Amino acid sequence: MQETRFTLVTDYQPAGDQPAAIARLVEGLQDGLAQQTLLGVTGSGKTFTIANVIDRLQRPAIVLAPNKTLAAQLYGELKGFFPNNAVEYFVSYYDYYQPEAYVPASDTFIEKDASVNEHIEQMRLSATKALLERRDVIIVATVSSIYGLGDPDAYLKMILHLVRGEKADQRQI
């Protein structure tokens, strides 16, 4: 597994309430607190505060957002703060999802329908790959994306490692 340190890239220093918030969040995580909440108005530097916590702790992080819009914003900001680390995006790959339904008034059954976004599916695979290969990983995800995930061991069994220049028997692949 690749060992790379988190490197926070910024021209700013924590200010105002941020230094105390960073210290308390770091302390809480080191003490094993299961839950902590960082509150702040829009534009108060919550993402910058979280970036500083990640930089101080030097361990993988998952940042959960309530929806894809906020997740995309957080992903962009964290990618800017950590350009040399694996900041990954893990949201539901559905562009459209209609669960099956029954309408009693018309005795109608509506079949399940979905449209998968292939680019988001690739980003999800990239996030999974990063978690398996390195420690300097920040996953930005939506709450709903973590439901229905497959077995990590099954994913590992599907990986095929090929090395450029090395001969491989087609039948073994």
pLDDT at 16 over 70: yes
pLDDT-derived band at 108, boundaries 50, 70, 90: confident
pLDDT-derived band at 111, boundaries 50, 70, 90: confident
Stronger pLDDT, 51 or 154, i.e. the higher one: 51
Query: DSSP secondary-structure letter at 104?
Result: G
Q: What's the topology of domain 17-158?
A: Rossmann fold (3.40.50)
Mean pLDDT (whole number) for 110-117 = 77
Find the range with the poorest average confidence among 6-20, 53-67, 90-104: 90-104
Helix (H) or strand (E) holding 29: helix 18-30
pLDDT-derived band at 109, boundaries 50, 70, 90: confident
Residue with tokens 């087609």: 170
Give me 14's structure tokens. Answer: 């924590």
pLDDT-derived band at 148, boundaries 50, 70, 90: low
**Facing residues of 89 across strands?**
140
Give me 166's structure tokens. Answer: 């090395």
pLDDT at 153 over 90: no
Mean pLDDT (whole number) for 6-23 = 97
Q: Is 146 helix (H, G, I), strand (E, B) or coil?
A: helix
Q: How confident is the model over 36-87, as pLDDT tens digits?
A: 999 999 999 999 999 999 999 999 999 999 999 999 999 999 999 999 999 9
Q: Is 22 helix (H, G, I), strand (E, B) or coil?
A: helix
pLDDT at residue number 65: 93
Mean pLDDT (whole number) for 139-159 = 76
**CB < 8 Å & 24+ apart, contacts of 103-108:** none
pLDDT at residue number 102: 82
Give me 4's structure tokens. Answer: 């790379």
